[in-house]
Amino acid sequence: MRFMHFADLHLDSPFVGLTKSYPRLQESLVNAPFKAFKDGVSIAIKEAVDVVVIVGDIYDASKQTIYAQHFFMQQLKRLASAEIPVVICHGNHDYLAEDRIILNYPDNVYLFKDEEVDYVDLTLSDQTTCRFYGFSYTQRWINERKIQAFPINPQQTTYTIGLYHGSQEGLDQEAGHYAPFSIQEMLAKHYDYWALGHIHQDLELNHYPLIRYAGTIQGRNRLELGPKGAYLVEMTSNQIDSHFISLAPIIWQEAIIDCQADWQAHDLVEEIQDLLDNFQSEAQQGHYSIMLTLRLKNAQRLDQTLQDQIEKRELDAVLPEPDPADYFVALIRIQLDRQMVLQAFEYDQTLKQSFKEAMVKLSQEETYQTILADFFNHDKVRQWLPDLGEDADMKAGLIDQAQDLMVQAIGFDYKESDENED
């Protein structure tokens, strides 16, 4: 038996905040998840897989554009024409609200319609039988352990596969909101394969039986680094093999430049341009585009005026704007990584401990949501950007800026320590 494991398509992703820097990239960014899934369907058809499974968050929101719905239906019809059945569940982003009208899918599509764990039995062309267990979200959060509602494998079919959109405890700070589970609970069900969704990184939790997150098909921000795609899984009576299929037309990457004390503005520009040229060659050879975050290590070595100019994005004026008509490299963020020494901490351990505790608390989800609650709950924000509170990229950026402000508020400067000397 061979099948494709997709998850977290996030069609209609708005890519909040990215188009301000490079408005010409808007179309490329928004179209990237659509292209990734279309290419994935083409591979499934070419490989003549027996089944396609899609484990939640087909769309980025519970209400979809007409274009996204039409596109998804077209891809299902392509699979129907190839006589490939599709098993689908919905996740926390595209949850099936009670008042939502479910689309009339082609006959090859099997949908888990609510939060009750159900199953689908399929008989393949070679008479192999397989059973798929799963459920769909009908609200944004599921706090209960849905894994407990999955039955132990009844051994009534050749293979038994579980579809599960949720968080393993320990991987996600908000695991309790997304049908939390443990590996031990899944192993106790004795299934042949667990097809997971929700975490955007491809991740193997257990080798045999295989418990795997396929990850998203297209990274959505600078925290979702590297190639994204789906898995081609092949099962036999005594083994299981899986192969990653890279699908993302745009890949997020991170690079580091180690700043030197004698650098002036033109030295830094030349270093960055050389770096961009190297990434451009990689993009052309790999047939994908790159969204690049640049970290300037030891930025405290640079003149303070130059640091201020970088933070004001003055480098944008001298760096080339990416061309969306080709495989592009877009430098979307320059982060100043300053190695700081708070010398007073050596004399005030209470202040040192207080600073550490403040940084831990600042990074906690509860603190972040509480501080920005008024903003996230503003009528305009809720109307136009309802998922802004879940934007991991914005959260990471705000926490970095808050840390800098805390250091400045205490009244210390960034200073290079002897430990950073080569």
What is the DSSP secondary-structure string of 89-142? E--SSS---TTPPPP---TTEEE--SSS-EEEEEE-TTS-EEEEEE---SSS-B
The predicted model gives 365-390 an average pLDDT of 73
* Phi, psi for residue 123 in degrees, rounded to 5: -115, 120
- DSSP per position, 314-372: GGGGTSPPP-TTSS-EEEEEEEEE-----GGGGT-HHHHHHHHHHHHHHHSHHHHHHHT
Is the CB of residue 50 less than 8 Å from the CB of residue 86? no
- CA–CA dist 292, 254 (Å, integer): 6
Least confident of 35-49, 237-251, 342-356: 342-356
**Predicted local distance difference test score (pLDDT) of residue 379:** 75
Round to whole Å and give the CA distance between 20 and 48.
42
Confidence of residue 422 (pLDDT cuts 50, 70, 90): very low
Q: What is the pLDDT of residue 418?
A: 47
Residue 106 has pLDDT above 80, yes or no: yes
Neighbours of 124 (CB within 10 A): 16
Residue 394 one-letter amino acid: M
In the CATH scheme, what is the code of domain 2-246?
3.60.21.10
Residue 121 parent element (H or E): strand 118-123
Cα–Cα dist 102/369, whole Å: 33
* Distance, CA of 379 to CA of 250 (rounded, Å): 33
Domain boundary assignment for the chain: 2-246, 250-339, 349-413
Q: What is the pLDDT of residue 154?
A: 94
Work out the pLDDT band at 392, boundaries 50, 70, 90.
Answer: low
Is the model's pLDDT at 52 over the cut of 60? yes
Q: What is the pLDDT of residue 175?
A: 55
Q: Is 283 within 8 Å of 275 (Cβ atoms)? A: no
What is the percent of the chain with per-residue pLDDT over 90, rounded to a whole number? 58
Token pair, residue 348, equals 């005030």
Query: Where is pLDDT greater, at 157 or 418?
Result: 157
Q: Is the pLDDT of residue 341 over 60?
A: no
Which stretch, 62-76, 111-125, 368-382, has highest mean pLDDT? 111-125
What is the Cα–Cα distance from 180 to 194, expressed in whole angstroms?
14
Mean pLDDT of the chain: 86
Q: In terms of DSSP bridges, do strands 250-258 and 240-246 run parallel, antiparallel, or are they unpaired?
A: unpaired
Contact criterion met (CB below 8 Å) for 148 and 185: yes
Q: For residues 420 and 299, give the distance between their C-alpha atoms in angstroms, rounded to a whole number.
A: 12
Q: What is the number of alpha carbons within 13 Å of residue 185 lying toward its C-beta?
A: 16
Q: Which structure tokens are listed for 157?
A: 């079919």
Q: Which value, in Å, is the radius of gyration of the alpha carbons in the chain?
A: 24
DSSP string, 50-72: SEEEEES-SBSSSS--HHHHHHH
- Name the least confident of 115-124, 133-142, 287-296, 317-326: 317-326
For the ranges 6-15, 39-48, 305-314, 398-407, the maximum mean pLDDT occurs at 39-48
How many alpha carbons lie under 13 Å from residue 68 in its C-beta half-sphere? 20
Rounded mean pLDDT, 52-79: 90
How would residue 411 be classed by pLDDT, with cut points 50, 70 and 90?
A: low
Write b or e for each residue in 228-244: b if 16 or more Cβ atoms lie within 10 A of its Cβ, otherwise e. bbbbbbebeeeebebee
Lowest mean pLDDT among 213-222, 236-245, 382-391: 382-391
Which of 222-231, 348-357, 372-381 is least confident?
348-357
Higher pLDDT residue, 343 or 170? 170
Q: Tens of pLDDT along 114-161? A: 999 999 999 998 999 999 999 999 988 888 999 999 999 999 999 999
Residue 55 has pLDDT above 50, yes or no: yes
Cα separation, 314 vs 317, in Å, equals 6
Cis peptide before 324 (omega within 30 of 0): no
What integer pLDDT is reported at residue 404 of this predicted model?
65
Q: What is the mean pLDDT of residues 218-222?
A: 89
Q: Average pLDDT of 325-352?
A: 76
